[in-house]
């Protein structure tokens, strides 16, 4: 199965008014990186970077001034994703922006069944959280010390490591790289194991002397001690 793990950086949070300014993509084949990547900076077509967004990713209007508009790189992006599933953390954010960009140039939206949200997957795996990308890196022992600011390709690289770990780790991915991928879905009920009574009770661990000494101790305590009722 072919998947593209990706991340975007944007001018702000509103996918109707704001624009994608960076996209980073990493190709997986049978849950293992192939080495193919796509990394683009994109001119937001007159939309200024919001100060709050600038504080997160550090991409300035001046830096973006000579970058191509989305319409000029849309075909390259679509070709890279062709035939693959889209894997993103909090995918509704990234897909909202990507589909809005596609709509502006007359391309169809990505079908929802092609999208894998690693945040939803993490919440099922770790319901007590936290499940941010940084928190998941800590959980799985993935080094993200070089992540001082968000960056689309860097975040996609970290997410790739996290995603592989959530699917069973790199050893599982290596095993799947040379065989056909088989998906087995099991319900929670199927994973519950009922433990019945032992056919033979365990042998008594206390000797007769131990039991007698305990009885004498309870008698000495006297009164309405809780141990008398046991």
Q: Which two tokens stand for residue 19?
A: 């624009």
Name the phi and psi angles at 177, rounded to 5: -65, -20
**Degrees, nearest 5: CA angle 125-129-135:** 100
d(CA 58, CA 79): 28
Rounded to the nearest 5 percent, the helix, strand and coil shares of the chain are: 45, 15, 40
* Token representation of residue 182: 């088989």
Asked if residue 10 lies in contact with residue 53, where contact means CB atoms within 8 angstroms, the answer is yes
Q: Assess whether 126 carries a catalytic annotation.
A: no
Q: Which of 50, 126, 150, 214 is catalytic?
A: 150
8 A C-beta contact, residue 155 and residue 87? no
Helix, strand or coil for residue 32?
Answer: strand
Residues annotated as part of the active site = 150
């Amino acid at each position: 199965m072919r998947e593209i793990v990706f991340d975007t950086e944007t001018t702000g949070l509103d996918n109707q008014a704001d624009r994608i300014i960076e996209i980073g993509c990493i190709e997986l084949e049978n849950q293992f990186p192939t080495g193919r990547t796509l990394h683009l900076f994109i001119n937001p077509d007159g939309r200024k970077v919001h100060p709050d967004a600038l504080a997160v990713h550090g991409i300035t209007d001046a830096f973006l001034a000579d970058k191509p508009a989305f319409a000029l790189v849309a075909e390259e992006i679509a070709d890279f994703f062709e035939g693959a599933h889209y894997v993103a953390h909090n995918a509704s954010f990234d897909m909202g922006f990507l589909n809005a960009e596609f709509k502006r140039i007359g391309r169809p939206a990505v079908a929802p069944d092609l999208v894998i949200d690693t945040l939803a997957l993490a919440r099922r795996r770790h319901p007590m959280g936290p499940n941010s990308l940084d928190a998941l890196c800590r959980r799985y022992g993935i080094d993200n010390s070089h992540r001082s600011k968000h960056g689309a390709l860097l975040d996609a690289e970290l997410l790739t490591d996290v995603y592989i770990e959530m699917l069973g780790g790199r050893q599982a991915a290596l095993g799947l790289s040379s065989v056909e991928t088989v998906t087995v879905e099991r319900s929670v009920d199927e994973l519950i194991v009922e433990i019945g009574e032992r056919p033979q009770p365990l042998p008594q661990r206390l000797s007769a002397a131990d039991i007698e000494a305990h009885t004498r101790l309870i008698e000495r305590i006297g009164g309405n001690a809780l141990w008398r009722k046991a």
